[in-house]
Amino acid sequence: MNIQTSLDAAAGSLSLPQPYLLFLGDTTQRGYAKTAFGLRDWAPEKCVGEYALPGATVSAGLEQFTPVEAKARGARSLLIGVANSGGVIPESWMPALFEALDAGLDIVSGMHMRLADMPELAARAERLGRQLIDVRHPPSGLKVGTGRKRSGKRLLTVGTDCALGKKYTALAIARAFAARDVDADFRATGQTGIMIAGGGVPMDAVVSDFEAGAAEAVSPDATPDHWDVIEGQGSLFHPAYAAVSLGLLHGSQPDVIVVCHEPGREEVMGTPGYRLPGIEETIDLNLRLGARTNPAIRCAGVSFNTAHMDAEAAAALMETESARLGIPVADPIRGGVAFDRLVDSCLA
């Protein structure tokens, strides 16, 4: 798998000061720490440890260091490992960010709120000669979508909700393709994926008119047997984030979708009162809307996030659901025969 992607110029690339001290703030919801977990799981060599504030109940399971301690162990930057609702950097984090700058660390953020727009932080960084790096910047030169059919093959991960495994599924499938000598690239569309891959487009920071065009830039023309495995965002059913999901679906023109779901989750994350859609409902809507730009779109299977289940219960559930739906159901992190079937279906 080519994670350090050779992206189209419009899709952007970046070089970040590594390794990182992952900052978890005062996070109490595991789903909001997905940036830290993603880097821990897919780029562990880039992570020195973690740093959290009092009151935090979420940990990435790494050794805990202060910024001074992390700097002594080779860290070059404090990376904000949180992606909370709205991408806000609260005032309660400021002392820790100042501490990182004072310790000699740059700060890397994937939040919507830009570090450089925070006057006290910007002034301190300038005085100390430190970098403030905002990853959630769309590249310049994006165009509106054309709907033109591009060469090559594309797979997009979609979901019943946000923060349930679309990035992990895309990374795992791209790695599985490479293990089978299939020419494939992972294409990042969110801040964590971009930090892992070294390039991509933060789709939720793109002006709506350019969403489909940005997706086209992320997965440009390729050789006929090349696969772009595209990281999905949000959900078509999410009251807040559906627009991003639709633009990505239309612009990426996937030949194949894989639906991602967390068994047991009943409400849309961050929006109490909104039920989670069913898997069949999710497949149907994505295929109907995706057919607008690729009439040959198909669903290869379902990816379950079973991290909260024991292995036996997870295996039984996936087998039952696969029989019920008539398509492969697997947890890419658990792997095994079920995941092999899902990969077979993607390539069929």
What are the 10-residue block averages of pLDDT along the chain, 348 residues in total?
Answer: 37 76 92 90 94 94 97 97 83 96 96 91 96 89 95 98 94 97 96 88 93 96 97 96 96 98 94 95 98 98 96 98 98 97 98
Same domain, 164 and 258: yes
Of 225, 218, 319, 201, the closest CA to residue 263 belongs to 319
Q: What is the CATH number of the domain that holds 218?
A: 3.40.50.300
In a domain? residue 189: yes
Closest CA to 159 of 63, 70, 245: 245
pLDDT attached to residue 172? 97
Task: Kindly state the helix (H) or strand (E) to which residue 24 belongs, with its residue range.
Answer: strand 20-25
311 assigned to some structural domain: yes
Q: What is the DSSP string of 96-120?
A: HHHHHHHTT-EEEE-SSS-GGG-HH
pLDDT of residue 85: 72
Q: What pTM was computed for the model?
A: 0.86
- Same domain (yes/no): 187, 268: yes
- The answer to the question of residue 11 being in a domain is no
Which value, in Å, is the radius of gyration of the alpha carbons in the chain? 20
Same domain, 185 and 320: yes
Note down the domain range covering 102. Answer: 17-134
* Residue 187 lies inside a defined structural domain of this protein: yes
The pLDDT assigned to 97 comes to 97
Rounded distance between C-alpha atoms, residue 189 and residue 249, angstroms: 12
Q: Which residues contact 126 (CB under 8 A, 6 or more apart)?
A: none
Whether 43 is covered by a domain: the verdict is yes
Cα angle at 24 between 18 and 27, to 5 degrees? 160
Task: Clarify whether residues 333 and 266 are in a common domain.
Answer: yes
Q: How many domains does the chain have?
A: 2
**168 & 118 share domain:** no
- The answer, yes or no, to whether the previous bond of 254 is cis (omega within 30 of 0) is no
Query: Are 273 and 335 in a shared domain?
Result: yes
User: Are 210 and 269 within one domain?
Assistant: yes
Answer yes or no: do 327 and 265 share one domain: yes
DSSP state of 2: B
DSSP one-letter string for 158-221: EESSSSSSHHHHHHHHHHHHHHTT--EEEE--SHHHHHHHSB---GGGS-GGGHHHHHHHHS--
Residue 147 lies in a domain: no
- Asked if residue 332 belongs to a domain, the reply is yes
Take residue 306 and report the two structure tokens written for it.
């079973």
pLDDT for 14: 65
| 234 and 174 inside one domain | yes
The bridge status of strand 329-330 relative to strand 298-304 is parallel
Phi, psi (deg, nearest 5) at residue 89 = -100, 105
From CA 262, how far away is CA 113, in angstroms rounded? Answer: 29
Indicate if 236 and 117 belong to the same structural domain.
Answer: no
User: Phi-psi category of 102—alpha, beta or left, where left has phi over 0 and alpha has psi -120 to 50?
Assistant: alpha
Identify the CA nearest to 259 among candidates 239, 284, 292, 238: 284
**Dist CA 202 CA 344 (whole Å):** 30
Q: In what order do the strands lie in the sheet with 184-187?
A: 184-187, 227-230, 153-159, 256-261, 298-304, 329-330
- Same-domain status, 294 and 171: yes
Half-sphere exposure (Cβ direction) of 18: Cα atoms closer than 13 Å: 12
Confidence at residue 4, expressed as pLDDT on a 0 to 100 scale: 34
In terms of domains, do 184 and 105 share one? no
